[in-house]
Chain A
Amino acid sequence: MSSKNKSLDGANKIKVSESVWKKTLTANAEWPDKEEFLDVIYWMRQAIGIILGLCWGLLPLKGIVGLLLFVVVNAAVIYFYVNNFQSIDEEEYGGMWEITKEGFMTSFAGFLVTWIIMYTGLHGNDSL
């Protein structure tokens, strides 16, 4: 009985995660669960951090320009996604600042790690 329940649980989980993916990629989707939407923003941030870290390391971008450009691109992508793609009422989430803050530090740390490692591997012997 319990194993049956567990397998049902698993199936439900897969269904839920499928629908979250679908909603994430659909414009103006309905988000009844605020937590779910904030989680999407969080993971999107992490992905952006790592992708930008890889790009900045490959280019390579250096110094304050790289750092500032990360902050700007990161905030801009999320702002565009929330306002233009999903058309979310930001007041429901406590203002744009709350959404901008969501997962920022973690994504920044992830960005720094990938940027530093890519840069070290490809351009470690160049001088700044």
Chain B
Amino acid sequence: MWSDSLLIVFISICTAFLGEGLTWILVYRTEKYQKLKVEVERQSKKLEKRKEAHGDSLDKQHKKKIEREEERLKNNNRDLSLVKMKSMFAIGFAFTALLSMFNSIFDGRVVAKLPFYPISWIQGLSHRNLSGDDYTDCSFIFLYILCTMSIRQNIQKLLGFAPSRAASKQGGALFAPPPAQFK
């Protein structure tokens, strides 16, 4: 059982590197992506600073400027996600195939013993395709998801591919309804 769980950790490390490598080849190293990324980051930081400085002021000119910059940032962000999207689809397909292959290899096998009873809506995942009523038995998919959650993000951050905080903060705000003062 232990060798199975260690093997799953190893598999998820490999797939995380493979995924990042493929994304690097298809996206990160392209000039278009790099240009857009720098641009989005620069604009996000600028916008944040401007908002901090004039957040409460009612000056119409400032508001208009901020609005215009937000619009520009929005467009750049959209372009950035478009550049990413195509390759993400390709990688997504490849990984679904890989996952189903591993799923069939580990089908019905208890790969680990959980030190806790999972709550009911997680049991479907942690006890997937396992026989018996012992819910502390762990299936492949649950351990794989946990490994991927921790390993993939750390690798992204380590290699510097994770989006910067300023960009994701501004990006997140773009999908929210605009605040009343900017309407």
User: Could you list which residues of chain A lie within 8 angstroms of chain B, going by C-beta atoms?
Assistant: 35, 38, 42, 46, 49, 56-57, 60-64, 66-67, 105-107, 109-110, 112-113, 115-117, 119-121, 123-125, 128
Given A35, A124, A128, which contacts B1 in the complex, CB threshold below 8 Å?
A: A124
Say yes or no: is B153 at the interface (Cβ < 8 Å to chain A). yes
Q: When the two chains form their complex, are residues A117 and B115 in contact, meaning their CB atoms are under 8 A apart?
A: no
User: What total of A-B pairs shows CB separation below 8 Å?
Assistant: 75
Q: When the two chains form their complex, are residues A63 and B113 in contact, meaning their CB atoms are under 8 A apart?
A: no
Taking CB as reference atom, which chain B residue is nearest A57? B115
Say yes or no: is B25 at the interface (Cβ < 8 Å to chain A). no
CB-CB under 8 A for A120 and B113, given A105-B149, A106-B150, A109-B150: yes
Q: Tell me the minimal C-beta distance from A126 to chain B in angstroms.
A: 8
Q: When the two chains form their complex, are residues A63 and B157 in contact, meaning their CB atoms are under 8 A apart?
A: no
Say yes or no: is B5 at the interface (Cβ < 8 Å to chain A). yes
Say yes or no: is B154 at the interface (Cβ < 8 Å to chain A). yes
User: Could you list which residues of chain B lie within 8 angstroms of chain A, going by C-beta atoms?
Assistant: 1-2, 5-6, 9, 112-117, 136, 138, 143, 146-147, 149-150, 153-154, 157, 164-166
Q: List 14 A-B contacts (CB under 8 A).
A: A35-B165, A35-B166, A56-B115, A62-B115, A62-B116, A66-B115, A106-B154, A113-B143, A120-B2, A120-B112, A120-B113, A124-B1, A124-B112, A128-B117
Interface SS, A side: helix
Which 5 residue pairs across A and B have the least CB separation, nearest first?
A: A109-B149, A110-B150, A109-B150, A119-B115, A120-B112
Q: When the two chains form their complex, are residues B165 and A116 in contact, meaning their CB atoms are under 8 A apart?
A: no
Q: Note all chain A residues with C-beta closer than 8 A to B116.
A: 62-64, 66-67, 128
Q: Note all chain A residues with C-beta closer than 8 A to B117.
A: 63, 128
In whole angstroms, how far apart are the Cα atoms of A107 and B153 in the complex? 10
Q: When the two chains form their complex, are residues B153 and A116 in contact, meaning their CB atoms are under 8 A apart?
A: no
Given A105, A106, A119, which contacts B113 in the complex, CB threshold below 8 Å?
A: A119
Given A35, A38, A63, A107, which contacts B115 in the complex, CB threshold below 8 Å?
A: A63
